[in-house]
Amino acid sequence: MSERKVLNKYYPPDFDPSKIPKLKLPKDRQYVVRLMAPFNMRCKTCGEYIYKGKKFNARKETVQNETYMGLPIFRFYIKCTRCLAEITFKTDPENTDYAMEHGATRNFQAEKLIEEEEKRIQQEREEEELNNPMKVLENRTKDSKLEMEVLENLQELKELNQRQALVDFEGMIDQYREMEKREREREKEEDEREMKIFYVLLTEKLWAVFSSSFLQGASAGGAKKAKVESWERSVGTLGGKGALGSLIVRKKPVMTVSKPSSVTETAAPISQTGNTSLSCTLWPLLFEVSGILYLTFVFLSPNYVLRVGTCSHL
């Protein structure tokens, strides 16, 4: 077994290679090769999509009587993965690509079609220029005009890039900050103006409440006094000489030594009765004024930002 690994074989002195029999194989014989699909295709039989790079066990053969500049062209046979229909394609050395032959249609070959269209237009132009000198001049004029347009567009792009390269980002940031500062100052001035408006409205409301309460107290005192006077005129007082005066017997005053403090003691009940009527009138007013002052303190505190709509209901 070691002789099969050597680099040189032994050839006897009487070895004649012409006497070795040669295999007579057909020229169109096929080989089984492992390959990948060279492009995206779709089966014509079942519509199955076969994507580029899918592996197949294909049969390979040489195309008879067809070469390109001495290079042989090979044909490959594969089977659809779904319906097992036969699909064939061959090499295209002219375009360094593969050409579809039978069993499927090639997909996504827009680039190839564009290249073929460009080649066809170029060939037609060359054929026209060979027989028509005026066409040559016209084509040159069009080419020069197109070249000038391309240069102008390129110059515009260069200028645009230069303008973008000279953008001062720091200046833009400073300008934005200055704009924000002016906006904050404007909002602060608006808040102060609205606070002044609110204060004026609140003062007017307070004065209106105070005046209305005072007028109500005065009117209530006048009505009570008028009611007492009408009662005394109709019936009389207990201490007077009218109809009710005969019901009361007055005691004779006892002679006592009056002290200096008696004046204040006798005057106190009168003042208390007068203060009672006054307090009954002013207590509601004091409650309302204290509530308004509390609201004023709350709304005028710096933690509240007031708007015109907040005090519009006043």
The annotation status of 280 as a binding-site residue, yes or no, is: no
Q: State the average pLDDT over residues 171-186.
A: 91
Q: Which of 34, 69, 83 is nearest to 55 (CA)?
A: 34
Q: State the average pLDDT over residues 119-138.
A: 87
Q: State the average pLDDT over residues 251-261.
A: 50
Q: Is the pLDDT of residue 305 over 70?
A: no
Q: Is the pLDDT of residue 45 over 90?
A: yes
* Residue 132 or 180, more confident: 180
| pTM for the structure as a whole | 0.38
Q: Is the pLDDT of residue 175 over 60?
A: yes
Say how far residue 292 (Cα) sits from the centre of its chain.
46
The annotation status of 311 as a binding-site residue, yes or no, is: no
Average pLDDT over all residues of the chain: 77
The predicted-structure confidence for 115-126, as pLDDT tens digits, reads as follows 888 989 999 888
Tokens 């002052």 belong to residue: 293
Q: Is the pLDDT of residue 227 over 70?
A: no
Q: Please give the pLDDT value at position 23.
A: 84
Tokens 């036969």 belong to residue: 86
Cβ proximity of 102 and 86 under 8 Å: yes
Q: State the average pLDDT over residues 161-180.
A: 81
What dihedral do alpha carbons 168, 172, 173, 176 form, nearest 10°?
A: 170
Confidence tier at 266 by pLDDT (50, 70, 90): very low
Q: State the average pLDDT over residues 233-262.
A: 51
Q: State the average pLDDT over residues 264-270.
A: 41
Q: Which of 194, 209, 198 is nearest to 291 (CA)?
A: 209
* H or E element, residue 232: helix 169-234
Domain ranges of the chain: 31-107, 114-166
Question: What tokens were used for 247?
Answer: 């019901």
CB count, 10 Å around CB of 212?
12
The annotation status of 80 as a binding-site residue, yes or no, is: yes
Q: Is the pLDDT of residue 309 over 60?
A: no
Q: State the average pLDDT over residues 38-53.
A: 94
The predicted-structure confidence for 192-205, as pLDDT tens digits, reads as follows 998 888 888 888 88
